[in-house]
Amino acid sequence: MPVMNGINRHLLPLGILAAWVGSASAELGLNFPPPAAAVAQEIYNVHMLTMKIATLLLIIVFSVLIYSVYFHRKSRGYQADQKFHQTWFGNWSWVLVPVLVLGVDLTIAGSAQRTLEKIWVVPAEENMLDVKVIGHQWWWEFEYPDQKVKVESRYMPEDKAGALYLREVDNRLVLPTNRKIRFLHTSADVNHAFWVPELGFKKDAIPGYITETWAEINREGVFRGQCAELCGTWHSRMPIVVEAVAPDKFDAWIKQQQQIKLASAAEASASKTWNKAELMEKGQGLYNTKCAACHQITGQGLPPAFPALKGSKIATGPIKGHLDIVLKGKPGTAMQAWNSLNDLEIAAIVTYERNAWDNNTGDIVQPADVKAAR
């Protein structure tokens, strides 16, 4: 018994250390977050295997180095072995070392290749959910083409997001569990990259390309990621938040989104003439979410990259020119074509921009004007 106690006493600090490292790795994030998809699990496994082999090699190399630095020094009176490079080891190490390293390499590459063959190509399946991921400067657009639903996802400002600032968005990417999902990535402007560590894959969203990844999420939960390819000024403000829900909840969510879409389309196409106050109110809300990232809430922009709208020639000049740039964008700049917005939304934004911040043109743009300008 005393012996046991002695051992326990010796092991106690180790136990505390292990517990601390364990809790610290959860809190501080020392490794990948727990995978939420089989693809991510495969990636996690190959990562751990490579890391273990690398650690083993590191220990071997470091041990040899430390041994040599400690023992083979002049101050210990060690005599240099002038013939060491001419021994059989010196003559044949150029074969031995590469063969050993090749063995390690093939172990790693072989395991990686097997994983790659399992995960790289998107499996062809009937019941797959397609999600189109479109990167914009600086927000994400998620489209469910078969369900005809679109979600615009933007970062949530610090006062609303609190501790989740830069990891929280206004509209999340809702996905079902236990169903294979195919992501189709592209971009409307510059390169972006879709990265949610729990789902495993990172993939670039490149204009003119459609890149594919897939995942089958195995548990409900909220998984957070970020844009991983430098995309300009507000690259840091492109969080991605996936909300994984059970399939029935997902179907209900899709229905709800479809109804919202129908309602707003009906509102926009109604041949109603809107008054200025209505358009200004709607316009302010839309402007602040969709336009203010660049042109700022104050309309003063961030010149020279993002011009001011306050007092600008376009926002106070002819309405046609203003509608044109909003609908068609400006090539070679971050100003994209906003023609995916409906007539009412564009009418409201343009009306707002022409009257806010002392622009005071007094112009009112109606959805019909937008329709004519398209």
Partner 1 sequence: MSTATFAHDHDHHGPPSGIKRWLYSTNHKDIGTMYLVFALIMLFFGGASAMAIRAELFMPGIQLLEPDLYNNLVTNHALIMIFGAVMPAAAGLANWMIPLMIGAPDMALPRMNNLSFWILPAAATMLILSFIVPFFPGGGSQINTGWTIYPPLSLQVGMSMDFLIFAIHLLGISSVLASINIIVTIFNMRAPGMRLLDMPIFVWTWLVTAFLLILVVPVLAGGVTMLLFDRHFGTSFFNAAGGGDPVLFQHLFWFFGHPEVYILILPSFGVLASIIPTFARKPLFGYKSLVGAMFAIASIGMVVWAHHQYTVGMSLGAVSYFMIGTIIISIPVGLMVFNYIATMWRGAMTFETPMLFAVGILFMFTFGGLTGVMLAVVPADMQYQDSMFVVAHFHYVLLPGAVFGLFAGVFYWLPKWTGHMYDEKLAKIFFWVNIIGFNITFFPQHFLGLAGMPRRIVDYNVMFTEFNTLSSVGALVFGLSHLLFLYIIIKTVRGGRQASSKVWEGARGLEWELPSPPPFHSWNVAPQMK
CA pair distance 167, 223, nearest whole angstrom: 10
Contact 196, 223 (CB under 8 A): yes
Farthest CA pair distance, the chain? 98
Q: Rule CB under 8 A: is residue 31 a binding residue for partner 1?
A: yes
108 binds partner 1 (CB under 8 A): yes
The pair of structure tokens assigned to 54 is 């690398």
Site for partner 1 in 41-60 (CB under 8 A): 42-43, 46-47, 50-51, 54, 57-58
What is the contact mask toward partner 1 in residues 74 to 93, using x (rule: CB under 8 A)? xx--xxxxx-xx----x--x
* Residues 334-353, interacting with partner 1 (CB under 8 A): 334
Rounded to a whole number of angstroms, the minimum distance from the CB of residue 85 to partner 1 is 5
> Of the candidates 97, 263, 270, 372, which one interacts with partner 1 according to CB under 8 A?
97
Q: How far is the CB of 240 from partner 1 (least distance, A)?
A: 11
User: Are the C-beta atoms of 204 and 191 separated by less than 8 Å?
Assistant: yes
Stretch that binds partner 1, among 6-14, 68-76, 141-149, 289-297 (CB under 8 A): 68-76
Q: Which 124-183 residues touch partner 1, going by CB under 8 A?
A: 163-167
Closest Cα partner for 35 from 277, 215, 166?
215
CB-based contact 35:200 (threshold 8 Å): yes
Q: Give, as ranges, the residues between 5 and 24 that touch partner 1 (CB under 8 A).
A: none
C-alpha 207: how far from its chain's center?
16
- Near partner 1 in 287-326, by CB under 8 A: 302, 304-305
| Residue 36 burial class via C-beta count within 10 angstroms: exposed 0-12, middle 13-18, buried 19 and up | buried
For tokens 């991510």, the residue is: 40
For partner 1, which residue of 130, 141, 170, 212 counts as binding (CB under 8 A)? 212
